[in-house]
Chains A and B, each alone.
Chain A
Amino acid sequence: MTCNDCRPLLTDYAHHELDDAQDARVFEHLQECAQCRAAAQAEADLTDSIRYAYSDDLEMPQSIVANVRMAMRGYSPSLLERARAALRPAFIAPAAAVVLIVAGALRYGPGMLHPASSQLSSSYFVRQHVAQTLGSPASDRSWSAYVLTSENARSAQPGAQ
Chain B
Amino acid sequence: MAKFGRQTYNYAYRLCGNEADARDLTQEAFIRVFRAWQSFRPGTSFLAWIYRIVTNLHRDELRRRKGVFAQPLPDDNQPHEQAAPHHDPIEAMHERQLSAGMERALRALTPEQRSVILLADVEEYSYQQIADVLGCSIGTVRSRLHRARAQLRRLLEREHATGSLG
Q: Give the interface of A toward B (CB within 8 A).
A: 11-12, 15, 17, 43, 46-47, 49-61, 63-65, 67-68, 71-72, 75, 80, 96, 100, 124, 131, 134-136, 138-139, 142-143, 145-149, 151-152
Cβ contact within 8 Å between A15 and B31: no
Identify the closest chain A residue to B150 (Cβ): A11
A51 touches B5 (CB 8 A): no
User: In angstroms, how far is the closest chain A Cβ from the Cβ of B96?
Assistant: 10
B74 interface contact, C-beta 8 A: no
List 17 extra interface pairs beyond A47-B121, A58-B13, A151-B39, CB under 8 A: A15-B120, A17-B126, A57-B6, A58-B6, A60-B5, A60-B8, A65-B5, A68-B34, A71-B27, A72-B34, A72-B35, A75-B35, A134-B68, A136-B67, A138-B63, A139-B64, A149-B39
Q: Assuming the A-B contacts A68-B30, A145-B135, are A50 and B67 also in contact, with contact meaning beta carbons closer than 8 angstroms in the complex? A: no
8 A-B pairs with least C-beta separation: A149-B39, A60-B9, A53-B102, A131-B64, A60-B5, A68-B30, A50-B121, A60-B6
Contact indicator A68/B145 (Cβ below 8 Å): no
Measured between C-beta atoms, what is the minimum distance from B91 to chain A in Å? 8
Q: Is the CB of B122 within 8 A of A51?
A: yes
Contact A142 B60 (CB under 8 A): yes
> Out of B30, B34, B98, B145, which one reaches A11, CB within 8 Å?
B145
Interface residues on B, range: 35 or more
Main secondary structure of the interface of B (DSSP, over half): helix
Residues of the B chain whose Cβ atoms lie less than 8 Å from the Cβ of A49? 99, 102
Instruction: Tell me the bound Cα distance from A17 to B120 in angstroms.
Output: 11
Q: Given A60-B5, A68-B1, are A135 and B64 neighbors across the interface (CB < 8 Å)?
A: yes
Of B32, B35, B67, B120, chain A has the most CB atoms within 10 Å of the CB of B35
Whether A146 lies near B53 (C-beta < 8 A) is yes
Question: What is the distance, in angstroms, from A104's C-beta to the closest C-beta of chain B?
Answer: 13
Residues B108-142 near A (CB distance < 8 A): 117-118, 120-122, 126-127, 135, 142
